[in-house]
């Protein structure tokens, strides 16, 4: 056995075959394992062209872990990581976990009361922060933060506390002391904060086994250790840190750009030889609406996730020559719904994967009929394969886990063949003239218009009670959107009651750093002075008289 395995204790402390050994799902032992078995193989490629092999990854992680330990970090401690998706952020992530401490990344867009809340909720004593974020941090309530390690140098004129230099920590000589006990698959690996659209952001407690199962070999069976995954999502998001871990689990490799760029996407794919990519639906739309070119198929991508599965997915498959997959997932769960390659059923999220039970239920947790809409609830046959609750939020945990099932808060329907279809976030549903409207379905048809690059549908108050539909759209490059033309396009594509009354055109929709549209802001702004009103324009949409 290689000396790199010296710190790996006996593989199992249990007899349950559903729970893999430590060196299969725990960061510390995975890095040791691959450094011994694949030391010369590249694990990570960064924006600036730097590459880290598995041996280099281990050397760097161990050095920073030793520095963090000397700064007081111990097994089980919570450590804040507030940085963009850079090599330093990846290093911070793995070094925290190397010690058996808990990685607590926070959104780089946070400020003010939201930032105060997550700092207080985190119970962290040490924060590893990018220098550009220091001005925001010094205005925040630091709660239990006792030390700040700064990435990129910089001065601190905030509340008095020790300021540490990240570069010095990362250059610490020698290996850290081993953890007080082996790090187990069920130990907490991370706390990931949700968007907080219905209240303060909640910290999702994830074990190593949850993170392993989420994009793991059983759920994403078509991703292998031979793949190189282009990670477009930020490292404070499950879609960023989870993909890095997914390829560490497989002994594969990643490409880690700081952010997604439509113009830079295909050149980066070609330069780095990426074979798998994950795209939010809006990212796929951006790529599709770029002008076709002779290089569209000159790349090595074989597999692509598009979530959600937009109308253009089939065109994406044909134009770029990649197999398209889709899933339903969220921070708290572990990919319960996965599609086959290039699904033919329009709008599907896929079918239930092995190892998971899924039900669609009403407000009393009673199962609804096939074809009816209900909230998706989930449980798994592997212990610790989903979230371990919300940190310091016992009431929210109890509500989500009532009756022994995790309640997603998402409305779905399923067909007789077992295909699942996302309808809406329950809190995003729109009700107009006695009809329930899926904002997701309205948005899908809006984006189908060739001049629309991205779209959101939200509820705004109606003078008649209930809601009116406001469509907020951004144009494709070089295009101008005429609201009346857009309404005519929708007439044959949506039920009469789903066609928006209001249309607002923006250069770009407001989004979080994880590329999710900020519908809360659009609702709050409502009908603005620059919003077009279909009724004022004299366009009347009536129900067809059937059988008259």
The answer to whether the beta carbons of residues 335 and 243 sit under 8 Å apart is no
- For residue 440, what pLDDT is reported? 78
pLDDT of 109 higher than 60: yes
**Predicted local distance difference test score (pLDDT) of residue 196:** 52
Q: CA-to-CA distance for 231 and 102, rounded, in angstroms? A: 22
Average pLDDT over residues 258-274: 93
Q: What pLDDT digit, counting tens, does each position of 54-81 carry?
A: 999 999 999 999 999 999 999 999 999 9
CA dihedral 245, 246, 251, 253 (to 10 degrees): -80
Model confidence band, residue 544 (pLDDT cutoffs 50, 70, 90): low
What mean pLDDT comes out for the span 341-367?
Answer: 95
- Tokens found for residue 480: 């101008």
Q: Stretch 269-291: mean pLDDT, rounded?
A: 91
User: Counting beta carbons within 10 angstroms of the beta carbon of residue 304, is it exposed (0 to 12), middle (13 to 18) or buried (19 or more)?
Assistant: buried
SS (H, E, C) 288-318: HCCCCCCCCCCCCCCEEEEECCCCCHHHHHH
Whether 197 shows a pLDDT value over 60: the answer reads no
Beta bridge partners of 337: 328, 352
Task: Give the residue among 314, 307, 311, 354 at the shortest CA–CA distance from 328.
Answer: 307
Strands 102-105 and 78-82 come out as parallel
Alpha helices (runs of H) in 195-306, residue ranges in sequence order = 208-213, 238-250, 262-272, 281-288
| Distance separating alpha carbons of residues 124 and 145, to the nearest angstrom | 6
Q: Which of 385, 400, 354, 394 is nearest to 186 (CA)?
A: 385
The residue length of the chain stands at 548
Structure token pair of residue 470: 């406001």
Report the alpha-carbon distance of residue 277 to residue 365 in Å, rounded. Answer: 36
CA distance 27 to 12: 15
Residue 473, pLDDT above cutoff 70: yes
Per-residue pLDDT band for 513 (boundaries 50, 70, 90) equals low
Neighbours of 78 (CB within 10 A): 22
Question: Is the CB of residue 138 less than 8 Å from the CB of residue 157?
Answer: yes
* DSSP designation for 353: P
Confirm if 349 and 358 have CB atoms less than 8 A apart: no
DSSP string of 423-451, one letter each residue? EEEGGG-EEETTEEE-HHHHHHHHHHSTT
What pLDDT shows up at residue 1?
31
Most confident range, picked from 91-100, 281-290, 506-515: 91-100
Neighbours of 59 (CB within 10 A): 13
Q: Are 119 and 139 in contact (CB under 8 A)?
A: no
Tokens coding 446 = 């809006």
Q: What φ, ψ does residue 242 adopt, rounded to 5°?
A: -70, -35
Rounded Cα gap, residues 402 and 380, in angstroms: 15
Distance CA 328, CA 443 (A): 18
Distance between CA atoms of residues 390 and 285, nearest Å: 34
C-alpha to C-alpha distance for 408 and 336, rounded to whole angstroms: 11
Q: How far apart are CA 406 and CA 401, in angstroms?
A: 5
Q: Which of the four pLDDT bands, split at 50, 70 and 90, describes residue 516?
A: confident
Token pair for residue 514?
């994880």
pTM recorded for the entire structure:
0.82
pLDDT of residue 434: 61
- Do strands 351-352 and 188-193 pair parallel, antiparallel, or not at all (unpaired)? unpaired
Q: What are phi and psi of 350, to 5 degrees?
A: 115, -160
Do residues 523 and 459 touch, judged by C-beta distance below 8 A? yes
Q: Please tell me the predicted confidence (pLDDT) of residue 99.
A: 98
For residues 232 and 274, give the distance between their C-alpha atoms in angstroms, rounded to a whole number. Answer: 12
Model confidence band, residue 338 (pLDDT cutoffs 50, 70, 90)? very high
**How much is the pLDDT for 14?**
72
Instruction: Report the C-alpha gap between 228 and 304 in whole angstroms.
Output: 12
């Amino acid at each position: 056995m290689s000396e790199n395995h010296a710190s790996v204790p006996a593989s199992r402390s249990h007899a349950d075959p559903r729970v893999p050994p430590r060196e299969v799902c725990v960061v510390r032992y995975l890095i040791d394992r691959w450094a011994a078995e694949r030391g010369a193989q590249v694990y990570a490629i960064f924006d600036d062209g730097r590459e880290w092999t598995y041996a280099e990854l281990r050397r760097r992680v161990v050095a920073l872990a030793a520095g963090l330990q000397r700064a007081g970090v111990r097994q089980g401690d919570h450590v804040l990581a507030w940085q963009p998706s850079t090599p330093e952020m990846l290093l911070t992530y793995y070094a925290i976990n190397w010690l058996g401490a808990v990685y607590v990344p926070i959104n780089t867009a946070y400020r003010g009361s939201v930032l105060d809340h997550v700092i207080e909720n985190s119970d962290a004593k040490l924060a590893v922060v990018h220098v550009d974020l220091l001005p925001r941090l010094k205005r925040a309530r630091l709660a239990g933060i006792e030390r700040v390690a700064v990435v990129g140098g910089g001065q601190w004129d905030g509340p008095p506390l020790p300021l540490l230099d990240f570069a010095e920590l990362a250059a610490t000589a020698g290996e850290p002391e081993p953890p007080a006990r082996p790090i187990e698959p069920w130990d907490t690996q991370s706390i990931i904060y949700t968007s907080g659209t219905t209240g303060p952001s909640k910290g999702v407690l994830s074990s190593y086994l949850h993170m392993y199962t989420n994009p793991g070999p059983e759920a994403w069976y078509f991703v292998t250790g031979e793949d190189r995954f282009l990670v477009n999502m930020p490292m404070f998001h499950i879609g960023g840190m989870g993909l890095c871990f997914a390829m560490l689990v497989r002994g594969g490799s990643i490409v880690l750009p700081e952010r997604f760029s439509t113009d830079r996407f295909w050149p980066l794919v070609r330069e780095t030889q990426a074979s798998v990519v994950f795209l939010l639906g809006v990212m796929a739309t951006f790529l599709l609406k770029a002008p076709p070119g002779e290089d569209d198929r000159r790349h090595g991508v074989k597999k692509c996730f598009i979530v959600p599965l937009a109308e253009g997915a089939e065109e994406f498959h044909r134009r770029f020559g990649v197999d398209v997959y889709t899933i339903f997932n969220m921070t708290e769960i572990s990919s319960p719904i996965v599609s086959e390659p290039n699904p033919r059923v329009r709008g599907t999220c896929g079918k239930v994967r092995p190892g998971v039970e899924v039900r669609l239920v009403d407000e009393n947790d009673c199962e609804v009929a096939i074809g009816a809409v209900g909230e998706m609830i989930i449980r798994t046959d592997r212990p610790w394969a989903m979230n371990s609750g919300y940190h310091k939020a016992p009431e929210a945990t109890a509500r989500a886990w009532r009756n022994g099932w995790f309640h997603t808060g998402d409305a779905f329907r399923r067909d007789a063949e077992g295909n699942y279809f996302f309808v809406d976030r329950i809190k995003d549903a729109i009700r107009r003239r006695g009809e329930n409207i899926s904002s997701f379905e309205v948005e899908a048809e809006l984006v189908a218009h060739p001049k629309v690059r991205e779209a959101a549908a939200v509820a705004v108050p109606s003078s008649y009670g209930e809601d009116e539909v406001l469509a907020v759209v951004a144009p494709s490059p070089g295009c101008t959107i005429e609201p009346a033309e857009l309404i005519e396009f929708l007439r044959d594509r949506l039920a009469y009651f789903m066609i928006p009354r209001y249309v607002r055109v923006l250069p770009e929709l407001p989004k979080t750093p994880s590329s999710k549209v900020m519908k809360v802001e659009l609702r709050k702004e409502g009908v603005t002075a620059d919003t077009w009103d279909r009724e004022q324009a004299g366009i009347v949409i009536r129900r067809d008289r059937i059988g008259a």
